[in-house]
Amino acid sequence: MSEEKLTASLPKAYDPAVTEQDLYREWEEAGCFKADPLSEKTPYTIVIPPPNVTGKLTVGHVLNNTLQDILIRYHRMKGEEAFWLPGTDHAGIATQNVVERELATKKITRHDLGREKFLEHVWNWKEKYGGIILKQLRRLGCSCDWTAERFTMDEGLSDAVKKCFVKLYDDGLIYKGKYIINWCPRCKTALSDEEKIPQDTKGSLWHIKYPFKDGSGYLIVATTRPETMLGDTAVAVHPDDPRYKDLIGKSILLPLMNREIPLIADEYVDKDFGSGAVKMTPAHDPNDFEIGKRHNLEQIVVIDESGIMNENAGQFKGLDRFKAREAVIAALEEQGLLEKIEPHELAVGHCERCKTVIEPYLSEQWFVKMKPLAEPAIKAYKDGTLSFVPDRWGSVYLHWMENIRDWCISRQLWWGHQIPAYTCSKCSHVQVAENAPEKCSKCGASQEFIEQDSDVLDTWFSSWLWSFSTMGWPEKTPMLDKFYPTTALVTGPDIIFFWVARMVMAGYYFTGECPFDSVYFTSIIRDLKGRKMSKSLGNSPDPIDIMDDYGADALRYTMVALAPIGQDVRFAAEQCEMGRNFANKLWNAARFVLMNVEDMELSVLEDYPENLSETDRWIISRLHSTIAHVEHCLKPTEYRFNDAIKSIYEFVWNDFCDWYLEISKKALYGSDADLKRNTALVLLKVLDSALKVLHPFMPFVTETLWRKIPGNSGFLMTGSFPEYDANLVSPETEEKVGKMMQFVRTVRNLRASANVPPSRKVTVRAVASDLNNAVVENFGDLVKSLAGVEHLEITDSKPEGHLVGLVDSSVVCMELKGLIDVEKELARVEKEIENTEKSMAKIAGKLENKQFIERAPADIVEKVKEDVEVYKQQLEKLYEYKNEIGSI
RNA sequence: AGGCUCGUAGCUCAGUUGGUUAGAGCACUGCUUUGACAUGGCAGGGGUCAGCGGUUCAAAUCCGCUCGAGCCUACCA
């Protein structure tokens, strides 16, 4: 009857779809994810790297967030006040693009709507479609504290942004100026250096004749962007270049424009590149801009904000910049001014969001002086306050920090934090303040004359504050007090500059503290061909589909198992079979335990029972070795997640299922009531502990099973992690049981080689030896049930009509009913001999080497001697056996 | 151009400070539905650890070079 009950509640196969979603709701409703700022417990904090509100879950997110969840769940179970703060990022350009594209289907532009109406649209879009990814994280099982969810444009976070801007401005670290910046002619906004993606491109180097005004010939100028020559205001050479030294100061007549420009000298010019003469276009090249400033060159803008040639481009006005290039070349050629064209490879910058070729563009922008901010961030890494795993990212971080450049933070977008700078239209006075000033502080003009800067801030200007702005900073909130600075950060190395480095700088500058102790950089997920997962390639499987097919736990298991430290991962959905199979294996192991325990009215106990058997002690020893290893792997200096999950897998599958469950059947189906009870208690307790250890990695299946264990109540996830007890680890027991296992394998091996079906029992005679005697005496009954043996006995010598196998150098014989297949058996033994000889040869040579004996540590030498001795004995026995068969 | 990382079984990957008979999962071969599980069990085949050279008593592991893959940084027009 109870059999029926269990079968009903525990089906033969684990079906994640049945439990996962409901279980998550239960956890959430019970407040299991919530962290208490007033708790006395040690805080453990992670802030999520906020995904874009427009984002959908990718396999990359899966890995990243699973790792965070593992840490959070583990530390929660270790009794710490674990706080995982979730949220999203407003993603200026990306979000604006999405909404603009949607409007475009209705043939509306944002300009049709105007700023205010457009922003209303974006907010509506955000409320409706934004943050899908956070729902998807719930599906994954992430135990974020959703009551603390934040968005970078929330009121509080927006106030923090303003506050920081004002402070930096007041401290003289924010300035506005006309500089060459990266401009996307499609998004029509400035971009930071980090948003410019260089791509190697096969271009050309055009060599153009620039004639001198006085008719005394010409010089050659080489360029990759001939269309910009229309804005040239000089040609530069190196002051020491003998070819040009005497010509410096002469006038050149700029072709096509007939503008008179000077030949100037500047150290910057590389004599060995091209012709050694460089055209200067200060309005369209960052280097020319710098040189131009030194020489007071005029800045002539010839390309407009859309990438179209403007009125300064003469006859080329109105042409797109790439069309203009062709037209300029054609015109030069016609006038015989094109000397030659060389193929030339160069890195062309592209817009991170829309892939449009970036245009260096002269415009008025806001910048942050970064050098002073970098100093404490550099120190933090160098003195160990901040650590990276893998550590090699530290040098990447340092290199960037030490060569840091000012950060262009203004964006010509509408969606974002509008810059809190106000200009008086009467006197042009600029005021920077958190709130709109009521009158001009200089000329006293009233509010109507004061206008806020129309630009918004780079999204990263809000996310670099994320680690503390989310907790209420600048208010001194209990949350901030309890959970800041945070403990760990888990993110991808691709945003080390965008985010990690800047967050460290912001942490020090605004709070005086490093915002986290350690950063773990995850692997990059690729497809099986090694390509990055991307939407355009269509090679990125949808994690939701994977979870539908295999379950969230299976996906989590697989991603973590597959991802070693800092190495890229090649992933395909089918690999989740390993996770699914593992969840199923665990399910069935639990099912077995529960079915057998059911009638005994037992519940899981605090301690193991007295009078443990050797094999009980063995599984407990294995369990505690596993616990120790897992805990070691999860330390911040290690973060060896794949190692941790693998050792649990091996414990559950190999030790617990393959051996201990099989061993326990002997007791469970036997008539010794005490033994039965003891075994059941050990099974329950080990299962209970295994579920706890595995829980941070595979939360759903473990919680589901744990709650079915008699005696358990509440939630596993808020329970405690098993405490490692070194006294329960016994190498001696593991050794003893290991010999028994070897013995069983040898018998199974013999059975297989003689094709004895599992159902047929055999007789085994073990030739007396220390090992054999101990195994037969201590584990005789077990060997019988595990290896399908009917009669097991010790003999003085090998009997006739038996197959022979070895355990170390002990001989184990299996009686064969009927004739031995001589040929087959001979082949098997010969193969065995060959293998053993090969193995021995590998190490035996060492002993003949005097140097080895003298220099190698004594214990190593001893070990080799012992091994060789074992091989020798094995070979002796194998030869003997071979002769015997041969003579049949 | 510089820097970093990687190259281990057909595939995806482990292998912590040099000393293991070089491992796992999938795939493959044979046996197997015995009362947890065929998403299973038992047994097995398969690798000159990219190549060459060096250090060492000892190298998949440390060093150098070559070849191959990838990533990051860089203002050579």
Q: Which two tokens stand for residue A566?
A: 């800092």
How high is the pLDDT of residue A9?
Answer: 67
Question: What average pLDDT does range A463-474 have in this prediction?
Answer: 95
How high is the pLDDT of residue A195?
Answer: 83
Q: Taking each helix axis as running N to C, give the angle between helix A577-597 and helix A673-694, from 0 to 180 degrees, rounded to the nearest 10.
A: 150
Residues 6+ apart with CB under 8 A from A354: A97, A184, A186, A187
Q: Which of residues 186-205 of A touch strand B (CB under 7 A)?
A: 193-194, 198, 200, 205
Contact A360, A183 (CB under 8 A): yes
CB-CB neighbours of A592 under 10 Å: 18
Nucleotide nearest to A12 (CA to C1'): B37
CA of A262 to C1' of B41 (A): 87
Q: What angle do CA A225, A229, A230 make, to 5 degrees?
A: 130
CA of A219 to C1' of B77 (A): 15
Cα–Cα distance list, A664 to A424, A433, A659, A671, A781 (Å): 85, 74, 9, 13, 12
Q: Which two tokens stand for residue A420?
A: 């809190």
How high is the pLDDT of residue A840?
Answer: 86
Q: Which of A693, A699, A665 is nearest to A589 (CA)?
A: A665
Going by pLDDT thresholds of 50, 70 and 90, the confidence category of residue A637 is confident
Q: Answer yes or no: is A758 CB < 7 A from strand B.
A: yes
How high is the pLDDT of residue A1?
Answer: 36
Residue-wise pLDDT tens digits, A485-527: 999 999 988 889 989 999 999 999 999 999 999 999 988 888 7
Q: Which of A90, A197, A164 is nearest to A373 (CA)?
A: A164
- Between CA A516 and CA A498 the distance in angstroms is 16
CA A61 to chain CA mean position, Å:
8
CA of A357 to C1' of B13 (A): 39
CA of A527 to C1' of B67 (A): 25
pLDDT value at A6 more than 70:
no
Q: Answer yes or no: is A573 CB < 7 A from strand B.
A: no
Nucleotides, chain B, CB distance < 7 Å: 3-6, 11-15, 19-22, 25-26, 30-45, 56-58, 69-77
CA of A778 to C1' of B58 (A): 39
How high is the pLDDT of residue A819?
Answer: 72
CB-CB neighbours of A808 under 10 Å: 15
For the ranges A42-51, A386-395, A484-493, A718-727, the lowest mean pLDDT is seen at A386-395
CA of A565 to C1' of B21 (A): 29
Q: Where are the alpha helices (DSSP H) in A485-613?
A: 502-506, 543-550, 552-562, 577-597
Higher per-residue pLDDT: A420 or A599: A420
Q: Answer yes or no: is A274 CB < 7 A from strand B.
A: yes
Nucleotide nearest to A278 (CA to C1'): B77
Average pLDDT, chain A: 90
CA of A862 to C1' of B61 (A): 23
Beta bridge partners of A446: A439
CA of A677 to C1' of B38 (A): 31
CA of A472 to C1' of B64 (A): 55
For the ranges A234-238, A245-249, A786-790, the lowest mean pLDDT is seen at A245-249
Q: Which two tokens stand for residue A176?
A: 């506005």
Q: Answer yes or no: is A570 CB < 7 A from strand B.
A: yes
Give the residue whose CA sits closest to B11 at C1'. A528
CA A795 to chain CA mean position, Å:
59
Question: What average pLDDT does range A122-133 have in this prediction?
Answer: 90
Q: Answer yes or no: is A848 CB < 7 A from strand B.
A: no
Q: What predicted TM-score, i.e. pTM, was given to this entire model?
A: 0.92
Contact A767, A810 (CB under 8 A): yes
How high is the pLDDT of residue A201?
Answer: 79
Residue-wise pLDDT tens digits, A326-340: 999 999 889 888 888
Residue-wise pLDDT tens digits, A823-872: 888 888 888 888 888 888 888 888 888 888 888 888 888 888 888 888 89
CB-CB neighbours of A347 under 10 Å: 12
Nucleotide nearest to A649 (CA to C1'): B24
Q: Answer yes or no: is A392 CB < 7 A from strand B.
A: yes
Helix, strand, coil share (%) of chain A residues, nearest 5: 50, 20, 35
Q: Which of residues 325-354 of A touch strand B (CB under 7 A)?
A: 344, 346-347
Q: Which of A123, A122, A141, A137 is nearest to A49 (CA)?
A: A137
Going by pLDDT thresholds of 50, 70 and 90, the confidence category of residue A583 is very high
ipTM over 0.90: yes
How high is the pLDDT of residue A494?
Answer: 86
Q: Which of residues 466-505 of A touch strand B (CB under 7 A)?
A: 493-494, 497
CA of A529 to C1' of B24 (A): 22
Q: Answer yes or no: is A666 CB < 7 A from strand B.
A: no
Residue A500 sits at φ, ψ, to 5 deg, of: -60, -55
How high is the pLDDT of residue A4?
Answer: 45
Q: Which two tokens stand for residue A84?
A: 């995982």
Share of chain A above pLDDT 70, in %: 98
Give the residue whose CA sits closest to B42 at C1'. A748
Burial of A297 (0-12, 13-18, 19+ CB in 10 A): buried
Q: Answer yes or no: is A528 CB < 7 A from strand B.
A: yes
CB-CB neighbours of A400 under 10 Å: 15
Q: Answer yes or no: is A224 CB < 7 A from strand B.
A: yes
How high is the pLDDT of residue A604?
Answer: 74
Q: Answer yes or no: is A522 CB < 7 A from strand B.
A: no
Nucleotide nearest to A272 (CA to C1'): B76
Contact A338, A329 (CB under 8 A): yes
DSSP characters over A449-489: GEEE---EE-THHHHTTHHHHTTTTTS--HHHHHH-S-SEE
Q: Going edge to edge, which strands form the sheet with A359-368?
A: A189-191, A174-184, A359-368, A407-408
CA of A530 to C1' of B59 (A): 29
How high is the pLDDT of residue A5?
Answer: 52
Q: What angle do CA A732, A734, A736 make, to 5 degrees?
A: 70
Question: What average pLDDT does range A727-747 have in this prediction?
Answer: 94
Q: Answer yes or no: is A590 CB < 7 A from strand B.
A: no
CA of A296 to C1' of B53 (A): 58
Give the residue whose CA sits closest to B75 at C1'. A287
pLDDT value at A122 more than 60:
yes
Q: Which of residues 20-79 of A touch strand B (CB under 7 A)?
A: none
Question: What average pLDDT does range A768-784 have in this prediction?
Answer: 94
Residue-wise pLDDT tens digits, A238-293: 888 888 888 888 889 898 888 899 999 888 888 888 788 899 999 999 889 988 88
- Between CA A702 and CA A684 the distance in angstroms is 14
Residue A350 is given by DSSP the state E
Residue-wise pLDDT tens digits, A307-326: 999 998 889 999 999 999 99
Q: Answer yes or no: is A449 CB < 7 A from strand B.
A: no
Going by pLDDT thresholds of 50, 70 and 90, the confidence category of residue A751 is very high
- Between CA A675 and CA A760 the distance in angstroms is 27
Q: Which two tokens stand for residue A867?
A: 């091994």
How high is the pLDDT of residue A39?
Answer: 95
Q: Which two tokens stand for residue A856?
A: 């190698």
Nucleotide nearest to A393 (CA to C1'): B4
Question: What average pLDDT does range A195-201 have in this prediction?
Answer: 83
For the ranges A53-57, A251-255, A815-819, the lowest mean pLDDT is seen at A815-819
Q: Which of residues 620-639 of A touch strand B (CB under 7 A)?
A: none
- Between CA A431 and CA A420 the distance in angstroms is 8
CA of A528 to C1' of B8 (A): 18
Q: Answer yes or no: is A851 CB < 7 A from strand B.
A: yes
Q: Answer yes or no: is A7 CB < 7 A from strand B.
A: no
